[in-house]
Structure formats: structure tokens, C-alpha cells
A = this chain, B = another copy of it.
Amino acid sequence: MTVEQDPPAATRPGGRTARVREAVMRAAGDALAEHGFEGLDLADVARRADVGKTTVYRRWTNTTGLVADLLAHMAEESVSRSDTGSLREDLRTNARLVVRTLNDPRQGPLFKAVIAAATGDESAAEALHRFYAIRIAEWAGCVDAAIARGELPPGTDTHEVIRAVSAPLYYRVLCSGDPLDEAVADRAADAALAAALADAYAR
């Protein structure tokens, strides 16, 4: 029996489709940064992207679907971590990068909007978790290197160290509303390092 398995995709990801996605992703980022998630209007995104409203609704269904894809798109652009040879410096670099991102007039509101979207929609939440998993795994490499240098003992939860750096920064932005600057970033990095060292001693 010659069943023709795996039909030739029947899809057409060629030039135009990709072009449309790029334009819509950029437009969605702009719109989110400007009006936040709740102010997101797919018709407005379509206008900005110079694309038919119908196309946006057909391919992304609704606002959370669009946000989920935007996150996947953002995750595709990998950021390289630093490697200064000192864990304290690497963590401070990471913390300052997060602060700069969250304070950035475009990126800050975008991240807030995306997090807001994730609180109400499972697929957006999954996309967000994947995004952070990638970032955390990337920077966890710094901690691995530190362990290799003997700055931290083996058995340290490397991902937890990186999470500990970002956590107080996001907490300020999302919950308490306290200001965010380089001093706060450095304190967050130092606190994460102190916690990791204390945890090592306790074992």
C-alpha cells in the first residue's frame, strides 16, 4: 500500500506570509508599548502593520494569541550573557540589563503588557514561561562557570540564582511600585549572591 504520508505541508510560509508576520509583530510591540495590553486593538495593529484586519484576526484569533506569538518572536532573538570572570560582576550586569529593559520607554510597558496578558490566558502564560526559561537558562551559564572556578560549590541551583536576581526587580515594577535604578540592581545581584553562598554553607 503506497499511502502518501506527510502531504507536502500544504502550507505556504513563503515571502509574503513571513513579511506579514514581521510587520504585525513590530506593530503589536508598538501598540502594546503605547496602550498596554488592555488597550490592544487588533484593528489598530492591522492598520499600523499596513495589513488587512481580517488577516490579523484569522492568523492570531485574539489579543492573547497575538501576545503569545510575539513572545515566541522575542524569544527567537537570543541575547548573549556576559562573562566577566567574576560571578558578582556577571550578576550585576544581568541585573542592570533587566533594570534598563524595564525602565526603557518601549520595552518596559511591553513587558508589563505581556505579563498582564499571561495572567488571564493559558497559552500566553506558556509562551511567557518559555521565554523566561530560555533567558534564565542562558544566564545560568554564568553560575555554572562560577562553580567551575570554585566560587560556588557544586550542587548549587543555578537557575534559582538567576531568578533571585530578577525577582526583586519585577516585584518592584509589578507590585510595590518602588523605583528601579542601578543601585537597586546592584543590591539585587549582591543579595542573590549572598543567598547562594548562605545556601551553600547550610548544606
Query: With a CB–CB cut-off of 8 A, which chain B residues contact A77?
Result: none
Assembled-state Cα–Cα distance A92/B178 (Å) = 23
Known: A36-B120, A119-B113. Is A170-B174 also a contact (CB below 8 A)?
yes
Number of residues in A with C-beta < 8 Å to the partner? 45
A198 in complex: contacting residue of B178, B191, B202, CB < 8 Å: B191
Question: A interface, by DSSP: helix, strand, loop or mixed?
Answer: helix
Q: Does A151 lie at the interface of the complex (its beta carbon under 8 Å from any beta carbon of B)? A: no
A163 in complex: contacting residue of B64, B163, B171, CB < 8 Å: B171
Query: With a CB–CB cut-off of 8 A, which chain B residues contact A116?
Result: 37, 115-117, 119-120
Query: With a CB–CB cut-off of 8 A, which chain B residues contact A136?
Result: 176
B171 near A120 with CB under 8 A, answer no
A39 near B166 with CB under 8 A, answer no
Q: Does A19 lie at the interface of the complex (its beta carbon under 8 Å from any beta carbon of B)? A: no
Known: A36-B119, A170-B170. Is A190-B199 also a contact (CB below 8 A)?
yes
A119 near B125 with CB under 8 A, answer no
Query: With a CB–CB cut-off of 8 A, which chain B residues contact A39?
Result: 120
Q: Does A148 lie at the interface of the complex (its beta carbon under 8 Å from any beta carbon of B)? A: no
Q: Does A129 lie at the interface of the complex (its beta carbon under 8 Å from any beta carbon of B)? A: yes
Q: Does A106 lie at the interface of the complex (its beta carbon under 8 Å from any beta carbon of B)? A: no
Could you tell me the distance in whole angstroms from the C-beta of A104 to the nearest C-beta in chain B? 15
Known: A168-B163, A175-B170. Is A120-B128 also a contact (CB below 8 A)?
no
Query: With a CB–CB cut-off of 8 A, which chain B residues contact A174?
Result: 115, 118-119, 170, 174
Could you tell me the distance in whole angstroms from the C-beta of A103 to the nearest C-beta in chain B? 15
Kindly list 16 other residue pairs between chains A and B, CB separation below 8 angstroms, not including A129-B177, A170-B175: A112-B120, A115-B116, A115-B175, A116-B117, A116-B120, A119-B174, A163-B168, A164-B168, A164-B191, A167-B167, A171-B171, A190-B198, A191-B191, A194-B194, A194-B197, A194-B198
